[in-house]
Amino acid sequence: MIILRNIKKYYKLGSESIEVLKGVSLHLQKGQLICLLGESGCGKSTLLNIIGGLDYADEGEYIFQSINVREFNEKE
């Protein structure tokens, strides 16, 4: 099970901070199939990188199998 609550991600561009993910929330059950659709640059890959553990959200909660991902060590 994957639960995302109010996930936000920012990128720095010079002195400006750009919000790429603006409060994404979803609840995925084991075996559930979903599709991410959106324009180029809307944050699809960023969201998948967070779900896959390649990147971290700047704000919000990511719960994977009842454990907050922030509690994982690098190996986990």
Round to whole Å and give the CA distance between 59 and 39.
23
Q: Is residue 29 part of a domain?
A: yes
Q: What is the pLDDT of residue 72?
A: 78
Q: Is residue 34 part of a domain?
A: yes
How do beta strands 59-64 and 2-13 pair?
A: antiparallel
Q: Where are the alpha helices (DSSP H) in 3-76?
A: 44-51
Number of domains observed in the structure of the chain: 1
pTM, to two decimals: 0.86
Round to whole Å and give the CA distance between 24 and 44.
11
Task: Note whether 18 and 10 are within 8 A (CB).
Answer: yes
Q: Is residue 76 part of a domain?
A: no
What lies within 8 Å, CB to CB, of 61 at 6+ separation is 3, 4, 5, 6, 7, 68
Q: What is the pLDDT of residue 71?
A: 80
Q: Is residue 41 part of a domain?
A: yes
Ranges under pLDDT 70 in the chain = 75-76
